[in-house]
Structure 1
């Protein structure tokens, strides 16, 4: 690739911004909308041949999920496409300085500044984790500080391409998307990678901002992962005396080897950071809108009995066509409209309604919205268990809810019998 190349028949490459183990980032210009953009490429040839199809699907799914993440601390996603053999993601071009460079210049950041940066990252993680997105590759190179002081978290779409086991294997061979310096112990072992892994990485970043160096140093990736797994947790106050004891304790908890011993959520970490901020607030951070919630099943409305059947057939056909073109979010919206047109029935679920709800749950799953899909499958399973002859389908819905739970980085062992919480 070179300056002047056109991508997707509308984006012109202007200059390279950076290069990673499996990708490349260019500044570009959107000719159609007359604005600067960042274009991130995933080099398919860097992915093992037998994993390319799965990797491509996961990239698209995660990119779509990232595109729905509406938060001032996340660059907006504009487009997704294919250029030759590479996938590309078009995003907001963010001006500013990368945190890694800022640390290199300052060596040790003031306590209030480090706490403010960490709190802003927590604000982003609250929204991301509520939307079933785990970054998996938080590091100073993926955090940008804008001229106004707002922290932007980069690389959600690309960093989430690999699951825990894949990331661990590629890290061991030196072919990871990130660096093992910030990898959580469970991620290094190829275990379930959930929100707690992001909190561990944040702990490593906060330690580096305060101490000038990451918590562990090693000559190679395997040795670094062993240090995360087995080395004692370093005490920040032994490296810097002006760090408050309570902040040192929080940092120690973030670096716990066992995910269960870390703080319960990014929201909790942000709350614990507040006493160390200048003026008690976070510069540039805004309250995140919670994306998780009850399943999106609107209450049915009363309509004439003949019209819904005709409307349902048309809407299902429309949704099917959208899904075949991988427009899963739009297809799900169509099925939601279809469900709103269904009158309330009797005690037993109508076959047509069940089929609609199954299709909707599957579309949410394909769209990468695992939180909503899990609620949808679980709600349908509960209703099916009340209907005679529907146990097999109810069991399948329970299974799919568990798959969604695992995709969100949560252990299936945490579920109650016959219930996905």
Structure 2
């Protein structure tokens, strides 16, 4: 597979996002609905022949499991299909950083931030468990933090349905599903797995956010599982002193060996976490936030002559996309162009303004009126502060009002 390949006669691959032992995930573009998507593939050639049927069932189950969860903390499922010999799943493309990388950068997270992340995961678990779904593989690598601070729970590929309707665990012979560092003792033993297993994994994740490492460490998977089964529960207070006693007690209960000794539900855990949330409210994270109020990331240092050449090329790409009514993708191309404009170059200042106007207009054409409104308002504000052309300032304000009207915010719009 390579960038530019077409999948299902409507999705275009743009760049690889990641890969696992049996598949790949690509960022792509839905040409029919003019939106970016994530496309997850199960590569049959990379699956042992005797496991292909099980892997295919598990992959389809991920699609069904994720699709049935209508929750902002779960990526939306758009499509499921076959490409050649491979299965593919089309989902919402979630921007941001996986929690594992965030912990690696920060080592230990502030107590309020860790509690906020855990509370958001609990919110997803409440919905999943109510739908008789157990995730079974919660870990920092499966938690994505978006630029606005929302936590998305990814990869329901090994989710189990509770009850007799699906007694089969859809697992290859002799294999235990889950990740050793976060696996519940009953799951490590191959016993029945219920919501309490997800709460145990959440406890491992919360411990890692606070301590900078998982509760147990071992050289290999069998030793790790033995530690989950037999090692004493670690005390978070021994690793840092600023964890409140009630939060430390919750963490100890989440890591109980016996599922019956853990909290009764994800809802109960969320309620206990509430007093410790950052700024007293949920959710909210201190990560690279973007609120669409500015022109985007700081421009890279590029020689003016080269920058002008790149601008011409990117503008041509955007024009072609817009002519084909691929407005979202055209806006993304112009965002790249905007980042390539050198700072402090007066000759390109007018080009920067023109790019921001075009991006806002493309967002409006794409129907993303909220982002378009913010872009117009931000540009009007910057132009006014810099003594820019007043006619353009007024035009941007009028376009922002038009976006408000499209959003149904008539009262606010007419008040302006």
Scaled to the shorter chain, the TM-score interval is 0.5 to 0.7
The alpha-carbon distance between structure 1 residues 164 and 201, as it changes in their structure 2 partners (threshold 3 A), is farther
Instruction: Return the alpha-carbon distance in structure 2 between the equivalents of residues 133 and 45 of structure 1.
Output: 29
Describe the SS at the equivalent of 2:120. Answer: helix
The alpha-carbon distance between structure 1 residues 167 and 97, as it changes in their structure 2 partners (threshold 3 A), is farther
Q: Which residue of 1 aligns with 2:272?
A: 272
For the 8 Å contact 1:254–1:263, the answer to whether it is kept is yes
Describe the SS at the equivalent of 2:127. Answer: helix
Q: Which residue of 1 aligns with 2:44?
A: 44
Aligned-pair CA distance for 1:281: 2.2
Instruction: Pick 1 or 2: higher relative contact order, CA cutoff 8 A, min separation 6.
Output: 1
Describe the SS at the equivalent of 2:225. Answer: helix
The reply to whether residue 170 of structure 1 matches residue 169 of structure 2 is no
Q: Which residue of 2 aligns with 1:342?
A: none
Q: Which residue of 1 aligns with 2:256?
A: 256
For the 8 Å contact 2:98–2:140, the answer to whether it is kept is yes
The reply to whether residue 28 of structure 1 matches residue 33 of structure 2 is no
Q: Which residue of 2 aligns with 1:144?
A: 144
Aligned-pair CA distance for 1:10: 1.3
Aligned-pair CA distance for 1:277: 1.0
Aligned-pair CA distance for 1:161: 7.5
Aligned-pair CA distance for 1:106: 0.6
Aligned-pair CA distance for 1:164: 5.6
Whichever of the two has the greater Rg, that structure is 2
Describe the SS at the equivalent of 1:159. Answer: coil
The alpha-carbon distance between structure 1 residues 167 and 133, as it changes in their structure 2 partners (threshold 3 A), is farther
The reply to whether residue 131 of structure 1 matches residue 136 of structure 2 is no
Aligned-pair CA distance for 1:179: 2.9
Deviation string 1:150-181 (CA, Å, 9 cap, x unpaired) is 1111112x23289768379435xxxx6x5311
- Aligned pairs (5 A) from 1:234-253: 234-253=234-253
Deviation string 1:106-138 (CA, Å, 9 cap, x unpaired) is 100000000000000000100011111111111
For the 8 Å contact 2:66–2:75, the answer to whether it is kept is no
In the alignment, structure 1 segments of 5+ residues that lack a partner are: 286-421
Instruction: Return the alpha-carbon distance in structure 2 between the equivalents of residues 284 and 243 of structure 1.
Output: 18
Instruction: Return the alpha-carbon distance in structure 2 between the equivalents of residues 115 and 37 of structure 1.
Output: 30
The alpha-carbon distance between structure 1 residues 107 and 40, as it changes in their structure 2 partners (threshold 3 A), is same
Aligned-pair CA distance for 1:96: 1.0
Aligned-pair CA distance for 1:257: 1.1
Instruction: Return the alpha-carbon distance in structure 2 between the equivalents of residues 202 and 165 of structure 1.
Output: 23
Aligned-pair CA distance for 1:66: 1.6
Describe the SS at the equivalent of 1:26. Answer: strand
Root-mean-square deviation (Å): 2.1
Q: Which residue of 2 aligns with 1:19?
A: 19
Aligned-pair CA distance for 1:284: 6.0
Aligned-pair CA distance for 1:280: 3.0
Deviation string 1:10-43 (CA, Å, 9 cap, x unpaired) is 1111111111223211111111111100011123
Instruction: Return the alpha-carbon distance in structure 2 between the equivalents of residues 106 and 267 of structure 1.
Output: 28
Aligned-pair CA distance for 1:6: 1.5
The reply to whether residue 229 of structure 1 matches residue 234 of structure 2 is no
Q: Which residue of 2 aligns with 1:77?
A: 77
For the 8 Å contact 2:113–2:284, the answer to whether it is kept is no
Aligned-pair CA distance for 1:59: 2.9
Q: Which residue of 1 aligns with 2:282?
A: 282
For the 8 Å contact 1:134–1:194, the answer to whether it is kept is yes
- Aligned pairs (5 A) from 1:44-123: 44-123=44-123
Instruction: Return the alpha-carbon distance in structure 2 between the equivalents of residues 91 and 2 of structure 1.
Output: 19
The reply to whether residue 160 of structure 1 matches residue 165 of structure 2 is no
The alpha-carbon distance between structure 1 residues 168 and 219, as it changes in their structure 2 partners (threshold 3 A), is farther
Comparing 90-99 and 43-52, the one that deviates more: 43-52
Instruction: Return the alpha-carbon distance in structure 2 between the equivalents of residues 95 and 153 of structure 1.
Output: 13
The alpha-carbon distance between structure 1 residues 74 and 252, as it changes in their structure 2 partners (threshold 3 A), is same
Instruction: Return the alpha-carbon distance in structure 2 between the equivalents of residues 26 and 161 of structure 1.
Output: 25
The alpha-carbon distance between structure 1 residues 168 and 249, as it changes in their structure 2 partners (threshold 3 A), is farther
Describe the SS at the equivalent of 1:191. Answer: coil
For the 8 Å contact 1:168–1:188, the answer to whether it is kept is no
Q: Which residue of 2 aligns with 1:381?
A: none
What is the number of residues matched between the two proteins? 279
